[in-house]
């Protein structure tokens, strides 16, 4: 049964990779409810990325954890997936006015950062993506909120448009903090660093309980 499901998933993914679109079969295998909470669909996300959907070649892909660390890391996709993983139902709120609540499955950003051994004074995490997009978050927030680097949505491997291989689940932050196609986690002591949208006027704090401009 499980093997059957995995085979089906593999077939769907092959299709998705070739077309760069979410295959309708993927939509039919994603879960719609979790612990009594009704979920949105991964196809509810609005495509608004700065350079369109990216297609990452997983055989050459590496996730770097570097910057202000003693022990920089360069993980393959499967090495990242080898870390302990967690599930979370979390809502993404975009500044454009739409939001989607789904089940995320991922690894702890703080586990990856800790493996790289952050130096004293490290207080910021700067994320870089395959399309050149950047954003940042306080290291303390990343630890306290147990922030995930997600590789599945609604129990389906992230489709390319949703950020395959990884999307940051920046709980309680505006959508522009939810960086997709993440390829670098850079530890820093520059707490005033401004990412792509932050340097264009959106609040650096990005807290979704506060105004998006700040
Ligand atoms: N790499 C990258 N990540 C990105 C963006 C982008 O342009 N490039 N756009 C951000 C914005 S503004 C939003 S609202 C969310 C949307 O993510 P979703 O497609 O998973 O909803 O992605 C964020 N992450
Ligand atoms: Mo957004």
DSSP character string of the chain = -HHHHHHHHHHHHHHHHHHSS--HHHHHHS-SEETTEE---GGGSPP--TT------TTT--EEEEESBSS-EEE-HHHHHTS-EEEEEEEEE-TTS-EEEEEEEEEEHHHHHHHT-BPTT--EEEEEETTS-EEEEEHHHHHHTT-EEEEEETTEEPPGGGTTT-EEE-TTBBGGGS-BSEEEEEEES-TT---TTGGGTB-SS-BTTS-SB-
The answer, yes or no, to whether any atom of ligand 1 lies below 6 A from the CB of 49, is: yes
The count of structural domains within the chain is 1
Domain contains 207? no
* CB of 133 sitting under 6 A from ligand 1: yes
Q: Does 182 contact ligand 1 (Cβ within 6 A)?
A: no
Predicted pLDDT of residue 27: 78
Q: Which atom of ligand 1 is nearest to the CA of 168?
A: 24
Using most ligand atoms within 8 A of CB, pick from 132, 179, 199 the residue to mutate for ligand 1. Answer: 179
Residue 88 lies in domain = 3-20+56-200
Residue 180 covered by a domain: yes
- In a domain, residue 31? The reply is no
**Ligand 1 nearest atom to the CA of residue 175, by list position:** 14
Identify the pLDDT of residue 197: 97
Q: Does residue 49 form part of some domain?
A: no
Q: What is the pLDDT of residue 173?
A: 97
Report yes or no: 174 and 213 within 8 Å, Cβ to Cβ.
Answer: no
Q: What is the Cα–Cα distance from 42 to 45, expressed in whole angstroms? A: 6
CA of 40 to the centre of ligand 2 (A): 17
Tell me, using a 6 A CB cutoff, whether residue 193 lines ligand 1: no
What pLDDT sits at residue 24? 66
Predicted pLDDT of residue 23? 62
Domain membership of residue 8 (yes or no) is: yes
Question: pLDDT truncated to tens, each residue of the chain (214 aa)?
Answer: 444 444 444 443 433 333 345 566 777 899 999 999 999 999 999 899 999 999 999 999 999 999 999 999 999 999 999 999 999 999 999 999 999 999 999 999 999 999 999 999 999 999 999 999 999 999 999 999 999 999 999 999 999 999 999 999 999 999 999 999 999 999 999 999 999 999 999 999 999 999 999 7
pLDDT at 50: 97
User: Could you tell me if the CB of 181 is within 6 A of ligand 1?
Assistant: yes
Q: Is residue 46 part of a domain?
A: no
Distance 66 CA to ligand 2 centre (A): 26
Chain-centroid distance, C-alpha 192:
22
Question: Ligand 1 atom 6: the closest Cα is on which residue?
Answer: 49
- Calculate how far, in angstroms, residue 3's C-alpha sits from the geometric centre of ligand 1: 33
Residue 133 within a domain: yes
Determine the pLDDT at residue 54: 97
In this predicted structure, what is the pLDDT of residue 17? Answer: 35
- Whole-model pTM? 0.90
Residue 58: phi, psi to the nearest 5? -70, -20
Q: What is the CATH number of the domain that holds 129?
A: 3.90.420.10
- Distance (angstroms) between ligand 2 centre and the Cα of 48 equals 7
Assigned domain for 80 exists = yes
């Amino acid at each position: 049964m499980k093997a059957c499901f995995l085979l089906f998933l593999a077939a769907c993914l092959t299709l998705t990779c070739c077309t760069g679109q979410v295959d309708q079969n993927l939509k039919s295998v994603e879960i719609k409810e979790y612990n009594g909470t009704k979920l949105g669909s991964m196809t509810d996300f609005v495509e608004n990325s700065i350079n369109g959907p990216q297609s990452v070649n997983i055989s050459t892909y590496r996730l770097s954890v570097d910057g202000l660390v003693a022990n920089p890391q360069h993980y393959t996709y499967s090495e990242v997936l080898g870390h302990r993983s967690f599930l979370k139902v979390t809502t993404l709120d975009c500044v454009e006015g739409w939001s989607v609540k789904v089940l995320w499955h991922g690894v702890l950003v703080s586990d990856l950062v800790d493996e790289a051994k952050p130096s004293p004074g490290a207080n910021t995490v700067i994320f870089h993506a395959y399309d050149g997009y950047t954003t940042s978050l306080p290291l303390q927030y990343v630890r306290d909120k147990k922030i995930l680097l997600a590789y599945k949505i609604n129990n389906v491997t992230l489709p390319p448009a949703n950020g395959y291989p990884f999307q940051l689940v920046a709980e309680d932050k505006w959508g522009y903090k939810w960086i997709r196609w993440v390829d670098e986690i850079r530890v820093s002591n520059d707490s005033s660093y401004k990412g792509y949208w932050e340097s264009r006027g959106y609040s650096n704090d990005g807290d979704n309980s506060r105004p998006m401009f700040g």
